[in-house]
Chain A
Amino acid sequence: MKAFTYQRADSTAQAAAAAVKPGAKIIAGGTNLLDLMKLQVETPSNLVDINRLPLDKIEETPDGGLRIGTLVRNSDLAADPHVRQRYGVLSRALLAGASAQLRNKATTSGNLLQRTRCYYFYDVTKPCNKRSPGSGCAALAGFNRIHAVLGTSEHCIATHPSDMAVAMQALDAKVETVNRQGETKAIPIAEFYRLPGNTPEIETSLKPGEIITAVTLPPPPPGVQLYRKVRDRASYAFALVSVAAIVDSNRGRIRSARLAFGGLAPKPWRSAQAEQRLANAPSTTTTFNSTAAAVLEGARGFGGNDFKMPLTRRTLHSVLAEMTRT
């Protein structure tokens, strides 16, 4: 860990002003950032602590949705009655993530912005374009069991590890931000994350100094909600594949569906094509197959993660069968 200065922000504006300076970094729960600092994967020279800002409320919005303050802890969000009643997929996704202790500390914004778990990214002695642009990607021809099969580039094949963000992706969440000038934005989550291309070090559309203040959820779409996380042990493991699904169906016919995937791509993955296959379709094996094929269109494995293709197919099959069972 490199020596750094620490400052506690008293207002969002102050935080944004401090965060825009080179070397500055926001700290929320710190569960990801501090680990990375200890390994010198992240080397901020100034930490801007936002934990005292009044951004920890969950409120209903006039349109019947929900506004989740950026500092709401993952545990509190998962336990919130509104979330449990109307956004079950989000509650389930949160509770499938990390451990109770980590969830007590982890925040909404920190979870959205947590960095990949790629082993090579975590070890500063190894080549990694995301950590050290231009140094190469050790995972490409290395051990890539947990890596992405969709949306990758020759420069980076890392996944985004969040469970929460996958559910938010299915719920069409918006990420609210503010910058130093006090300008606010509401970024649709579909536009929030960026694919690696040839700049894997840039992961979101946030501009320097832009701070997340909240995440808003529109009213939930009709249908049942489910989050299925497939992992190597029963708890405390990242998703190999996860599915956030919202399916509205009746007696063997699907009216509409939303599907988002974790563990497959550098960002929570949503497939409009796949959702189209399900719209007004019978809930049959043929439909599920064609949906899976649509999700996996263009998918490519790198050896260690080839199993994610059949796993995705089978998991999706299982999820859709369960959700449309009459």
Chain B
Amino acid sequence: MEMNSPVGANVLDTPGIVGKPIDRVDGPLKVTGGARYAYEVQENNVLYGFVVEASIGKGRIKSIETRAAEKAPGVALVLTHRNAPAQGTGNHREAHPVLTGPQVTGYGQPVAFVVANSFEEARAAAYLVNVKYDRSNGKYALRANLNEARVPKPSDAPAADSAVGDFAIAFASAPVQLDVTYTTPLQSHAMMEPHATLAMWDGDKLMLHTANQMLNQGQQVIATTLKIPVENVRLISPFIGGGFGGKLWVNADAILAAIASRQLKRPVKIALTRQQIFHVTTHRSDTIQRVRLGTDREGHILAIGHDVFSGNLPSEQTYEGAALQTRTLYAGPNRLTRHRLAPLDIPVASSMRAPGESVGLMALECAMDEIAEKLNLDPIELRVLNEPSEDPEKHIPYSSRHLIPCMQEGARRFGWDKRNPKPGQVRDGRWLVGIGMAAATRGNPLLLSKANVRLGPDGTCTVRMAMTDIGTGTYTILAQIAAEMLGLPTERIQVELGDTSFPQAAGSGGSWGAGSSGSALFEACNALREKLARTAGMDPATARFANGSIASGDQSRKLTDLVGVGMDADGEIRPGRNNKDFSQQSYGAHFAEVGVDEDTGEVRVRRMLGVFTAGRVLNAKTARSQAIGGMVFGVGAALHEEMTLDPRFGYFVNHDLAEYHVPVHADIPDIDAVFLAELDDQSNPLKSKGIGELGICGAGASIANAIYNACGARIRDYPVTLAKLLSRLPVRA
């Protein structure tokens, strides 16, 4: 099915298991250790690999001494650029060649790969590899290299610039103006499971158990890199311990293991260490964002401008699209957004959960708060005033948009009316208390996805696709869809994911996972329903599926009597005209209450609420968990997360989880997420929209706005740490 028209009424519109807050079907496997992650797969005769990272940011390997490592106990192979095979090339989304030569283009780049009988032997030997470098002067810090920034030209992302009307003139003549610059830091995905791979060859055929969010794409990248036919590569990844974009693309673990395994003719296993992940894999670029808003005296936006700088390797076009949501969130006749990319010699920057909007809304939604204050307007009223009737840049309708109800319902539940717009007025002991809000929005992409569903003679239904579940609940919602479509209990549904020998699927990323894979399954189930109905001699249009039977009129047949040795069907979803003719976005509103210690400047979140609309909610529990998880990400982005670059070495100084802080339980006291009812019949057959990233979008801004409301300090340089607040707090002397 191609999404070219509204989907109309369908089976899911009647109450059923879809949407119910059922527990994760894979939950018991996970809590008992039955779910096996890539590194846990047991294989006979396996060898272990350990990466040696470049300890300079830019330069050349002058010499690399491997003899001591090769002679160390248990060592089978030391791979370097001298004995690694030639590989295919491309940007980081197309290929991931390793050990290609003596050039070092980024800190932590693998310069050797030591393979031994045990992990411990490999690690010990890795420290014996002695590398000498000729260092060159790299460009590391974004701020220091803005003058070299250029217009990025990615082939697979929106254009860097957009303009409507005449921003410059409109802004200059606007009665009320705001011109502010926000900065966001370098961030690391910090997912729980490290990047890990077990590689093995059977003749020309490669099989990888690997932690990867998008298996079909990964398969292609690996084939390109290793210069082998794509059908000779099989990726298996049934369980992934979080990705957040860090496992969207193929990383060095997979290629190193594959190359070593081929040379040694033995399975090779590798997991990056926590410290290595920070440099060997991708990160989110820092950004410098200038937001300009010009309004009339009532608060109508006349001019909206958003200029963004981010950084990446000179060979990359991927930019942090922080201004992309500014193109669609609010009305206004004169608009300008621009992204510039500075070439930097640091590890490759790429997608991290809600790439672009996560950090973009931390600027835009604070700027909205700032101009609301200038206008003496309630921040919600300002947003209501600027509600667009159509997408203000593409001039197409929204498929569905309920931002205003989200803000209003959130305000009601949170007690927004108790907010004192004047900062610094509320206290609780030592704590200055404030509340803030921000809008949330995130695009709803749809990707090609296929599925196969098979009903066996024992009444078990098997769903197969090369989809992944990165901890989000994909197994569960797919089981619910199949159960409802075929009138079976979820216990009868066996969902099998994470294998490229299954039908091609969208994978998990960009909030497209549930909509794309779920729709493919929906289509497959429809096809199976039709086959079953025809076999039963019933009209597919009127047949009802319930309790393991198909019924029409007063006739009823058990499904197991119809399937013979088993009956299966395929389904497929493709993006179509709807994805061009409609602006498809999920929406929400965040509310946060924080305390700021008036003496120490410590900020602690006291409560948080997100109210969202994202089309049909497929499972109320996993959806809420996704939203809350996103909001926790927002807390981290506002208050904690920052990789600190040391420009002398071109590296991230705090590359471990003791010093790269993400929120801990104690940082998240009272948090809730609510979804308002909505159906979007332009989005996909499920009428759902993406929710995986929506929770982050704007969450950090609501916290920063609450901090301002608490203490009157507007910190535009994230994360908002106590060191930045101290000088802005009441004098103590």
B640 contacts partner chain A, Cβ-Cβ < 8 Å: yes
The contact string, 1 if C-beta is below 8 Å from chain B, for chain A 144-161, is: 011000000000000000
B665 contacts partner chain A, Cβ-Cβ < 8 Å: yes
> In chain B, residues 676-733, which have Cβ atoms closer than 8 Å to a Cβ of chain A?
721-723, 726-727, 729, 732-733
Inter-subunit contact A232/B665 (CB<8 Å): no
* Beta-carbon nearest neighbor of A321 in chain B: B599
B661 contacts partner chain A, Cβ-Cβ < 8 Å: yes
Inter-subunit contact B599/A317 (CB<8 Å): yes
The contact string, 1 if C-beta is below 8 Å from chain B, for chain A 34-72, is: 000011100000000000000000000000000000000
CB contacts (< 8 Å) of A285 on chain B: these are 733
* Beta-carbon nearest neighbor of A236 in chain B: B664
Q: In the complex, which of the residues B123, B600, B661, B733 contacts A289, with contact meaning CB atoms closer than 8 Å? A: B733
Known contacts A40-B127, A310-B726, A314-B726: A230-B653 contact under CB 8 Å: no
B666 contacts partner chain A, Cβ-Cβ < 8 Å: yes
Inter-subunit contact B604/A234 (CB<8 Å): yes
A231 contacts partner chain B, Cβ-Cβ < 8 Å: yes
> In chain A, residues 139-198, which have Cβ atoms closer than 8 Å to a Cβ of chain B?
141-143, 145-146
Q: How far is B667's CA from A138's CA once the two chains are assembled, in angstroms?
A: 32
Inter-subunit contact A314/B600 (CB<8 Å): yes
Output the residue of A141, A146, A307 with the most chain B CB within 10 A: A307
Inter-subunit contact A2/B723 (CB<8 Å): no
Q: In the complex, which of the residues A119, A124, A142 contacts B648, with contact meaning CB atoms closer than 8 Å? A: A142
B389 contacts partner chain A, Cβ-Cβ < 8 Å: no
Q: How many residues of A contact B (CB 8 A)?
A: 40
> In chain B, residues 537-574, which have Cβ atoms closer than 8 Å to a Cβ of chain A?
none
B659 contacts partner chain A, Cβ-Cβ < 8 Å: yes
B408 contacts partner chain A, Cβ-Cβ < 8 Å: no
A251 contacts partner chain B, Cβ-Cβ < 8 Å: no
* Beta-carbon nearest neighbor of B727 in chain A: A310
Inter-subunit contact A311/B732 (CB<8 Å): no
CB contacts (< 8 Å) of A123 on chain B: these are 655
CB contacts (< 8 Å) of A202 on chain B: these are none
B639 contacts partner chain A, Cβ-Cβ < 8 Å: yes
Q: How far is B657's CA from A117's CA once the two chains are assembled, in angstroms?
A: 12
A1 contacts partner chain B, Cβ-Cβ < 8 Å: yes
Q: How far is B599's CA from A311's CA once the two chains are assembled, in angstroms?
A: 8
Q: In the complex, which of the residues A117, A124, A289, A311 contacts B722, with contact meaning CB atoms closer than 8 Å? A: A311
CB distance from B714 to the nearest CB of A (A): 18
Inter-subunit contact A39/B275 (CB<8 Å): yes
Inter-subunit contact B661/A237 (CB<8 Å): yes
Q: In the complex, which of the residues B600, B649, B661 contacts A233, with contact meaning CB atoms closer than 8 Å? A: B661
Inter-subunit contact A234/B667 (CB<8 Å): yes
Inter-subunit contact A142/B727 (CB<8 Å): no
CB contacts (< 8 Å) of B599 on chain A: these are 314-315, 317-318
CB contacts (< 8 Å) of A326 on chain B: these are none
Q: How far is B60's CA from A129's CA once the two chains are assembled, in angstroms?
A: 27
CB contacts (< 8 Å) of A234 on chain B: these are 604, 664, 666-667
CB contacts (< 8 Å) of A3 on chain B: these are 73, 120, 124
Inter-subunit contact B667/A235 (CB<8 Å): yes
Inter-subunit contact B654/A1 (CB<8 Å): no
Output the residue of B640, B655, B722 with the most chain A CB within 10 A: B722
Q: How far is B654's CA from A232's CA once the two chains are assembled, in angstroms?
A: 14
> In chain A, residues 205-254, which have Cβ atoms closer than 8 Å to a Cβ of chain B?
230-238, 240
A302 contacts partner chain B, Cβ-Cβ < 8 Å: no
B55 contacts partner chain A, Cβ-Cβ < 8 Å: yes
Known contacts A119-B654, A232-B722, A234-B604: A314-B649 contact under CB 8 Å: no
* Beta-carbon nearest neighbor of A234 in chain B: B666
A313 contacts partner chain B, Cβ-Cβ < 8 Å: yes
Inter-subunit contact B723/A318 (CB<8 Å): no
Q: How far is B265's CA from A118's CA once the two chains are assembled, in angstroms?
A: 42
* Beta-carbon nearest neighbor of A240 in chain B: B722
Q: How far is B726's CA from A117's CA once the two chains are assembled, in angstroms?
A: 24
Q: How far is B721's CA from A240's CA once the two chains are assembled, in angstroms?
A: 11
A126 contacts partner chain B, Cβ-Cβ < 8 Å: yes
Inter-subunit contact B640/A145 (CB<8 Å): no
B602 contacts partner chain A, Cβ-Cβ < 8 Å: yes
CB distance from A157 to the nearest CB of B (A): 14
B430 contacts partner chain A, Cβ-Cβ < 8 Å: yes
CB contacts (< 8 Å) of A233 on chain B: these are 639-640, 661, 663-664, 666-667
Q: How far is B41's CA from A139's CA once the two chains are assembled, in angstroms?
A: 41
Interface of A is mostly: loop
Inter-subunit contact A232/B640 (CB<8 Å): yes
CB contacts (< 8 Å) of A318 on chain B: these are 430, 597, 599-600, 732
* Beta-carbon nearest neighbor of B725 in chain A: A307
CB contacts (< 8 Å) of B732 on chain A: these are 313-314, 317-318
B656 contacts partner chain A, Cβ-Cβ < 8 Å: yes
Q: How far is B53's CA from A124's CA once the two chains are assembled, in angstroms?
A: 12
CB distance from A186 to the nearest CB of B (A): 33
CB contacts (< 8 Å) of A2 on chain B: these are 124, 127
Inter-subunit contact B124/A311 (CB<8 Å): no
Q: In the complex, which of the residues B430, B600, B640, B649 contacts A311, with contact meaning CB atoms closer than 8 Å? A: B600
Q: How far is B600's CA from A40's CA once the two chains are assembled, in angstroms?
A: 36
* Beta-carbon nearest neighbor of B663 in chain A: A233
* Beta-carbon nearest neighbor of A312 in chain B: B600
Output the residue of B120, B639, B653 with the most chain A CB within 10 A: B653
CB distance from B75 to the nearest CB of A (A): 13
B2 contacts partner chain A, Cβ-Cβ < 8 Å: no
B646 contacts partner chain A, Cβ-Cβ < 8 Å: yes
Q: How far is B664's CA from A322's CA once the two chains are assembled, in angstroms?
A: 27
B579 contacts partner chain A, Cβ-Cβ < 8 Å: no
Inter-subunit contact A235/B120 (CB<8 Å): no
Inter-subunit contact B653/A125 (CB<8 Å): no
Output the residue of A141, A143, A145, A232 with the most chain B CB within 10 A: A232
B169 contacts partner chain A, Cβ-Cβ < 8 Å: no
Q: In the complex, which of the residues B124, B646, B723 contacts A142, with contact meaning CB atoms closer than 8 Å? A: B646
Q: In the complex, which of the residues B127, B663, B722 contacts A230, with contact meaning CB atoms closer than 8 Å? A: B722
CB distance from B94 to the nearest CB of A (A): 31
B192 contacts partner chain A, Cβ-Cβ < 8 Å: no
* Beta-carbon nearest neighbor of A39 in chain B: B275
B644 contacts partner chain A, Cβ-Cβ < 8 Å: yes
B31 contacts partner chain A, Cβ-Cβ < 8 Å: no
The contact string, 1 if C-beta is below 8 Å from chain A, for chain B 665-676, is: 111000000000
Q: How far is B667's CA from A232's CA once the two chains are assembled, in angstroms?
A: 10
CB contacts (< 8 Å) of B275 on chain A: these are 39
CB distance from B430 to the nearest CB of A (A): 7
CB contacts (< 8 Å) of B664 on chain A: these are 233-236
Inter-subunit contact B721/A122 (CB<8 Å): no
> In chain A, residues 95-153, which have Cβ atoms closer than 8 Å to a Cβ of chain B?
117, 119-120, 122-126, 138, 141-143, 145-146
CB contacts (< 8 Å) of B144 on chain A: these are none
Q: How far is B639's CA from A97's CA once the two chains are assembled, in angstroms?
A: 20
Q: In the complex, which of the residues A38, A143, A307, A313 contacts B653, with contact meaning CB atoms closer than 8 Å? A: A143
CB contacts (< 8 Å) of B648 on chain A: these are 138, 141-142
B658 contacts partner chain A, Cβ-Cβ < 8 Å: yes
Inter-subunit contact B733/A145 (CB<8 Å): no
CB distance from B594 to the nearest CB of A (A): 12
* Beta-carbon nearest neighbor of B600 in chain A: A230
CB contacts (< 8 Å) of A307 on chain B: these are 722-723, 726
A sample of 18 inter-chain contacts (CB < 8 A) reads A1-B123, A40-B127, A124-B127, A230-B602, A232-B661, A233-B639, A233-B666, A234-B667, A235-B664, A236-B666, A240-B722, A289-B733, A311-B600, A311-B723, A313-B733, A314-B601, A317-B732, A318-B597
- Please give the residue numbers on chain B whose beta carbons come within 8 Å of chain A beta carbons, in ascending order: 55, 73, 120, 123-124, 127, 273, 275, 430, 597, 599-602, 604, 639-640, 644, 646, 648-649, 653-656, 658-659, 661, 663-667, 721-723, 726-727, 729, 732-733
CB-based closest 9 A-B pairs: A318-B599, A234-B666, A125-B55, A235-B666, A307-B723, A314-B599, A143-B653, A119-B653, A230-B600
Known: A314-B599, A314-B729. 19 other contacts (CB 8 A): A1-B124, A2-B127, A39-B275, A119-B659, A124-B127, A126-B649, A143-B644, A230-B600, A230-B602, A232-B721, A233-B640, A235-B664, A307-B722, A311-B726, A313-B732, A314-B601, A315-B600, A317-B599, A318-B732
